[in-house]
Amino acid sequence: MSQTRILIIEDEEKISRVIQLELEYEGYSVVRVHDGASGLSYGLEKEWDLILLDIMIPKLNGMEVLRRIRSKDSLTPIILLSARDSIVDKVSGLDQGANDYITKPFQIEELLARIRTCLRTNQVRNSNVTSTILQVGDLVVNEDLRKVNRDSKEIELTKREYDLLLYLLKNKNQVLEREQLLEAVWGFHFEGETNVVDVYIRYLRKKIDDSFSSPLIHTVRGVGYCLKEPSS
């Protein structure tokens, strides 16, 4: 069984380190980041079982990180950490999509109990989901569990790789222009490099095509890409 993965977004080094040590002692896999921009990047790019998010962090405050994560991911449990203990702050955080709110200073035993509750609730919710299965050839995606397999081999994808694959799969046998993919996966207001689609297509091919006999992702020169059934 794989370890439960927890992301800590907290700028106070001593606090985040203590939390990390306690969580690792409990058997969790932990990654720490110390500002909102890094936290948002990690939160969106990788898969997490739970996120601990401080509100008062540099570069991008916790509420904005929460809002942006929730715009893309409604499932990952998020617990807010804050020295603010007013009802207004708590209600605001919960309304933005946080699963729980704990005020500083807190006892580590209370935090661990809140984490266990969030993980247990999320596990029950996921177990009650009727899975949606998408398939092309021997590539199978369980959309609700976010599991990807090809020829019965599980394939690990980053969140962005998964989102790109899912869009290609939902539009299989259709030629998709780069601009379509960019808008659908990165968003209309994406301001990064225009070749990011080509870069991520290469990442995907390396994981789902290169080790298999029949390629699924095809380049349509001058237009874009197409995911289609392998040639018989």
Residue-level pLDDT at 129: 55
pLDDT tens-digit readout, 56-82: 999 999 999 999 998 888 788 999 998
Which sign does the torsion angle of CA 140, 143, 144, 149 carry?
positive
Q: Tally Cβ neighbours within 10 Å of residue 172.
A: 17
pLDDT at res. 182: 87
- Give buried/exposed letters for 55-69 (b at 16+ CB in 10 A, else e): bbbeebebbebbebb
Residues 6+ apart with CB under 8 A from 36: 9, 57, 58, 59, 60, 61, 62, 64, 65
Residue 139 reports pLDDT greater than 60: yes
Cα–Cα distance for residue pair 99/120, rounded to 1 Å? 12
Structure tokens at 51: 């996120």
State the architecture of 133-227 in CATH terms: Orthogonal Bundle (1.10)
Six-digit token string for 70: 């929730």
Q: What does the mean pLDDT of the chain come to?
A: 88
- Could you tell me the pLDDT band of residue 2, with boundaries at 50, 70 and 90? low
CATH 3.30.830.10 fits 5-127, yes or no: no
The token duo for 160 is 């962005």
Q: Measure CA 214 to chain center.
A: 29
Mean per-residue pLDDT, 175-191: 81
pLDDT for the residue numbered 170: 92
* Rg of the Cα atoms in the chain: 20
Q: Would you list the domain boundaries of the chain?
A: 5-127, 133-227
| The pLDDT of residue 1 is above 60 | no
pLDDT at 61: 92
Across residues 149-164, what is the average pLDDT?
A: 89
Bond into 105 cis (ω within 30): yes
Contact 60, 26 (CB under 8 A): no
| CA dist., res. 35 & res. 44, Å (int) | 14
Q: What pLDDT band is residue 188 in, cutting at 50, 70 and 90?
A: low
Is 93 in contact with 61 (CB distance < 8 Å)? Answer: no
> pLDDT tens-digit profile of 29-66?
999 999 999 999 999 888 899 999 999 999 999 999 99
> Residue 31 in 3-state DSSP?
strand
- d(CA 7, CA 20) in angstroms, rounded, equals 9
Q: Is the pTM of this model over 0.85?
A: no
